Chains A and B, each alone.
Chain A
């Protein structure tokens, strides 16, 4: 049986798709058979971040509507054999994903994959509910900023009341916090909520702290999940995330402001 992981946040633009791409690639590179699904109907983006936008033929809604079978719609990643991508449809019909249809696709994927990563759209509407409904685990992506933290907490409420596990009184979804776009310098200056502040409010199991990083933009420009950029801070922070998710213990990195000497400025450009 596969484990289904939802990448969720409530608030938009906090880094869900960046995270879904990185986590899926990270799991696959560790030999886990992984499928990553874009639930953002009408605003397909995961294919771009994964760099496979030109190979999209069929999408998630086509599979649900019986217009294509799953294998026709899945895109096999060229960098990593264990990874497949299921793109979102570009239809304007927000109800394209039915609960029954989504459940069937997840069941079928579960036969051949170890992990299914679901990239949720923003908001708390139908698409976001579909993305989290069947989840076993949830990664709550949060920026150190008031509206994002508040929305994350609301999302936790929805996971605890509207998910399949909640409705069937099954064991609750395992919830993890991923703090992204973190700037240790601004935290040190008292301008930004620190990791302890956010932890105190949300009290979740912290998977990683992803620093605000140029590497993320570079990665999305190139269509390479940032975790493949091993030299970068964000890439390493995502690698830590995957390792911790799989149960490895690692110290937290990138929490302290970097001492920017002339030397490091010169070499890092």
Chain B
């Protein structure tokens, strides 16, 4: 009996531990990392844009976003604007997000622009 309780406890603890490693939803990551420049509505009008020399992309525009492949979007989020010959103002997020979270963000962007 004692043993059974113990293994249940271990199971619960393991489940809790692994939930900490679960990835955050794309919505929450977008809010934490992207809103500041791309805006609460994803339209490129974030709280930071007033003094920026290059405007952040409007993620709701099928025209602005449609030309990019998923691989390009993944690359620019992970490695930043410079990696696809774009502005240094678009930061690299590879140290903040897992590859899985970045793939979720690419899907999320496709929903925002209704393209792809």
Q: Do A and B make up one complex?
A: no
Residues of B within 8 A of A (CB): none
